Structures are given as structure tokens and as C-alpha cells.
Amino acid sequence: MPSVRNARVIFNEIPTDYPLPGKHVVYDTSKTIDLENVPLDGGVLVKILVLSIDPYLRRMMVGRDVQNFSPPFELGQPIVNYGVAVVLRSENPAIRKGDHVVGLEGQFPFQEYAIVHDFSTVRVVENTENIPWSVYVGVLGMPGETAFYGWTEFAKHKKGDVVFVSGAAGPVGATVVQLAKAEGLKVIASAGSDDKVAFVKSIGADVAFNYKTTSTREVLDREGPLNLYWDNVGGETLETAIEFSARHARVIVCGNISAYNTKSPYGVKNLQLLIWREITLHGFLFDSLRPKHAAAFFRTMPGRVASGAVRYKEHVVHGLENAGQAILDVQEGRNFGKSVVVVAE
């Protein structure tokens, strides 16, 4: 069998602000692969079906000198992230041809085909609920796990608590909104367009507003004080949430989209309120909490998603050639719902 195209998306240049397709992130079709004969050396050949586009990818596009949670992307090499793939050939006895595998820790390169050797962070998904594969990088993947683990570990909610969620239309935020509502709490949610606000209301938020047209400060002054703030944004929004926090409030610091694409992030000036209000800020990454909470997540969430008890919104982009634009759109907030690239059906 002749070789076929193995298109890929390369990390080409470190951006100073926003990552531009064609410049910092480049689509490349120069490679081919012989699917029948390429040596696997004990590994597994997969065809990539879905790749995840997440805000944190920007944090991986930094120099090697930046102290990071994991090594940043390598210049000249494909971008890497969570994804779902189908197995074409396997020399690993635990994994069979036709299996669907989900990469957990940025396992899959942005290419059409890949050979995987490290299975410590890849799992085979049976998907008995017949949920679309893209959902396994969304509410049933890293973002859903992030919401579930952070909430389970840090929320410490009590009856009557008021919760504020920023970035509430994204896959993490929307899941948090629904976890909070499932506990009967009052949920205030912000998002960046009227469409997103309508979605956030439809999944249960008691108060939802477009932060671009409505003052966060006025909403929180009226609807607070906050017992819990789930922060996907950082900067001025975090400062305002702290200002309207109640005594003993918890802030779960999950994302900081306001700071990813600038060299001069907003400085938060009211941190002395952490003392007077006895506020705790928890920064976290989902994989640290996975060993503790993964069993509960995988036991309960697929069923909740299948039954519609937990709802989600996807922003689907078709074709690897559009991945660079999808990455930029997420940084600029133009996606509506979890951004996924469908590489192959």
C-alpha cells in the first residue's frame, strides 16, 4: 500500500501575544506515512479522530526557560493535546485494532496518524452509552474532570452558598454551574456574549450576564456576597470577586484567560481582603487530583451526560487545517462551547 498524507500542525514560533495561524502555529502537509508497513516497535498506530482545543495550550507556547507545570511545546514539532483515536494496528497486547483510545495527558500530536508508545496516560474507552467521541475531550475529558475534581476537592459548600462562575459557557464553567445547581446553590454566571448567557441560563444558572455589556461589580454587589468563586478568568474579574466575597469564601483558581496573551497582566490590588475576610485561593491542575477523584468521575459522569442531567455545548471545527484558527479563537473567546477539531469521522 502506498504512503498516505500525514498532515500535522507545527509549533513554529513563540508568540508574544496571540498565537496566529500560519505564523506561530503552522499547518504542514509535507509528511506521509505507510500505514501497512510503518514499524511500530511494540507501539500502536492510531488514526486521530478528535483533538481538543483548550485555553491552556497558550501556556505551552513559551520558551524552554519558563518554569512550567510540564515542558512546553517543542519548536518545529507538532502541537500535542488530548484527543480520541481509533487503533489501526497494535503490537501492544492490551490494545486491539478497532479500540477507541483517549489520551489523557496531552498524548496525541496534532497529526492525522500517530504511533503511540506510552500507554500510561492512554485509556481504552468502551463508550457503552454511545456518547459522541468528541465529548471524551469535553465534559467527559479533561475539562469535565477539571470541573469535577476541583469542585469535589475545594468547594466545601454549605446550604445557601452563593457561587460565582466566570467563563461559564466553556466546558469547565458550564460543568461547574451544573454541579453547583445539583447541590441546590445559588449560581451567578458570566460569559462573553448574549448567546452564551442564554446557554448558561438554560443549564440552570440563577443569574447570568454578559460581562462585556454588564458590570460584573454591579451584579456581584446586588447578588452577592459570594461564598465561592470559580475563576476561569483572573485579573480584574478575580479582584471584583474578592471584593464581594463573604467571610471564609473559597476561590478556586482554575483558569486565567485574561493573562495568557499579554506581557502585562492586570495586577490584583485587594489581596489584603484575603486576611480580613479569611479567604482561601486554591490554584490547581486536574491531574494532581485525578488519583483521588477519577473513580467517582468515571462511575457517575458518563451516565449523567447520557441522561441529559449534565449538558454541554460543543464548538466543532472540521479539519486539521483549521486547528490553528481554532486555537486563536479560544484565546479570543470566539468559540461557544468546548472547542474540538474533528480530524476524521
Among 17, 39, 69, 222, binds a copy of itself (CB under 8 A): 69
Among 63, 276, 299, 345, binds a copy of itself (CB under 8 A): 276
Report the sign of the C-alpha dihedral through residues 312, 313, 318, 323, in that order. Answer: negative
Of 255, 262, 327, 261, the C-alpha closest to 78 is 327
Residues 175-234 that bind a copy of itself (CB under 8 A): 234
Among 45, 104, 191, 279, binds a copy of itself (CB under 8 A): 279
134 three-state secondary structure? helix
Part of the chain binding a copy of itself (CB under 8 A), chosen from 16-24, 157-165, 202-210, 276-284: 276-284
Part of the chain binding a copy of itself (CB under 8 A), chosen from 80-88, 95-103, 263-271, 316-324: 263-271
Among 102, 208, 228, 254, binds a copy of itself (CB under 8 A): 254
CA dihedral 137, 143, 146, 147 (to 10 degrees): -130
| The Cα angle at residue 306 between residues 301 and 309, in degrees rounded to 5 | 70
| The Cα angle at residue 116 between residues 96 and 138, in degrees rounded to 5 | 85
Rounded to whole angstroms, how far apart are CA atoms 234 and 249?
16
- The region that residue 76 occupies, defined by phi over 0 for left and psi between -120 and 50 for alpha, beta otherwise, is left
> Rule CB under 8 A: is residue 40 a binding residue for a copy of itself?
no
Interhelix angle 171-182/194-202, rounded to 10 degrees, is: 30
Part of the chain binding a copy of itself (CB under 8 A), chosen from 110-118, 172-180, 204-212, 269-277: 269-277
Among 2, 41, 159, 275, binds a copy of itself (CB under 8 A): 275
Among 114, 147, 219, 253, binds a copy of itself (CB under 8 A): 253
Residues that bind a copy of itself (CB under 8 A): 59, 68-69, 234, 238, 247-248, 253-256, 259-260, 264-285, 288
